[in-house]
Amino acid sequence: MSGACFLVTGGAGYVGSHLVQALLARGDQVVVFDDLRQGHRAAVPSEAELVVASLSDRARLAEVFASRRFDAVFHFAALSLVGESMREPLRYCVENLSNSLTLAEAAVQAGCRRFVLSSTAALFGFPKHTPIDEAAEVAPASAYGESKLMVERGLHWADQVHGLRSACLRYFNAAGADPAGRIGEDHEPETHLIPLAIGAALGTRPPLTVFGTDYPTPDGTCIRDYVHVADLADAHIRVLERLEAGSCRYNVGSGTGYSVKQVIESVERIGGRPVPHGFGPRRAGDPAVLVASSEALRRDTGWSPRLGALDDIVRTAWAWHAAHPRGFDDRRPN
Ligand code: UDP
């Protein structure tokens, strides 16, 4: 039992809600700050306090910071669709930067000195080498990636000038669901491979389209590094202690890549039924291979994925989607 108190923005969303579960399990107090545009009320357990508000609401933020002393802020709330960011680049850059730095400012003013940012592998764009470590060149290929890079830079200056220590966690492909089955992935629209493949197998979504079969990979489809959302939550908790030594940034992935075809095979193995699918052209902006080196995180914090195998990830995701074919079911029409 650690008994600390944390603010989690975006705590009603996919990765944020899994962190909230992990913090509550340690005996921490949690305040979730979420505007519920993407998040789900039902994803927030009753033991956590839920504040429904926008991060652009400075007065509400100040009120929340005045209500208690937070040991750290975990910041997940953001626009996060790569494709959408290429249609509305300015909205992505303005909103993600402005909301994040408004939050950092409120933390500094309240004397809270620890900040953990949900960042992204999209910072690396089309990487020259794989696996990707923290020394790899940062060159976003989307406005989404750029917006997160700008936030990282803002946090750097907040540390230099105000002593706000930050950990920027650059995730690769977050996947899977709470092994206890309480929460899982529920995006609308859904664009991610694993929920779409499972939905196709369950018949709750249309057949899957495989985006591109002519990549320079062994089976011609893209390779990604899938990291279980519970392992991601664990990484957030571990970096808190690391912050005592100063600000840091880490890549978070399992270190193993799986192709789109391997993901389909895993879903078929776990689900025991076929994934109806067809083949289409490449999706714009998709690099052939994205695999993380998380050596630095492992070395500095002792983190290692407990659900690193693709079948483990798919098993928890399958259980969630099979039990909740309409997701949290708290805002969709029949
Ligand atoms: N993908 C696919 N069909 C889909 C969705 C995704 O073939 O309907 C592929 C996509 O091209 C990528 C991989 O699956 O190579 C993972 O995509 P996802 O959107 O889940 O994550 P991303 O890597 O884009 O963050």
Q: What's the pLDDT at 333?
A: 38
* Cα distance between residue 223 and residue 11, in whole Å: 29
Contact status, residue 140 vs residue 123, Cβ threshold 8 Å: yes
- Would you say how long the chain is, in residues? 334
Residues 6+ apart with CB under 8 A from 13: 34, 38, 39, 40, 43, 76, 77
Give the closest residue to 54 by CA, choosing from 112, 116, 115, 98.
98
Q: Which CATH architecture has domain 193-224+256-323?
A: Alpha-Beta Complex (3.90)
- Written as one letter, the residue type at 51 is V
Q: Is the CB of 210 under 6 A from ligand 1?
A: yes
Distance 227 CA to ligand 1 centre (A): 14
- pLDDT tens, residue by residue, 297-312: 999 999 999 999 999 9
pTM of the predicted model as reported, rounded to 2 decimal places: 0.97
Is the pLDDT at 331 greater than 80? The verdict is no
Cα distances (angstroms) measured from residue 3 to each of 27, 29, 30, 220: 5, 7, 10, 49
Ligand 1 center to 280 CA (angstroms): 12
Q: Does ligand 1 lie within 6 Å of residue 95's CB atom?
A: no
For the chain, give every domain's residue range: 5-174+227-251, 193-224+256-323
Look at phi and psi of residue 171 and say left if phi exceeds 0, alpha if psi is from -120 to 50, else beta: beta
pLDDT per residue as tens digits for the range 261-278: 999 999 999 999 999 999
| Residue among 224, 262, 263, 291 to mutate when testing ligand 1 (max atoms within 8 A of CB) | 224
Which atom number of ligand 1 is nearest to the Cα of residue 191?
Answer: 19
Beta carbon of 133 within 6 Å of any ligand 1 atom: no
Q: Which of 244, 256, 238, 243 has the alpha carbon at shortest distance from 297?
A: 238
Where does 5-174+227-251 sit in CATH, by number? 3.40.50.720
**What mean pLDDT value characterizes the chain?**
96
Tens of pLDDT, residues 281-290: 999 888 999 9
- The pair of structure tokens assigned to 237 is 């908790």
Specify the pLDDT at position 15.
98
| Residue whose tokens read 């969630």 | 320
The pLDDT, as a whole number, for residue 1 is 56
pLDDT per position as a tens digit, 233-261: 999 999 999 999 999 999 999 999 999 99
pLDDT at 284: 86
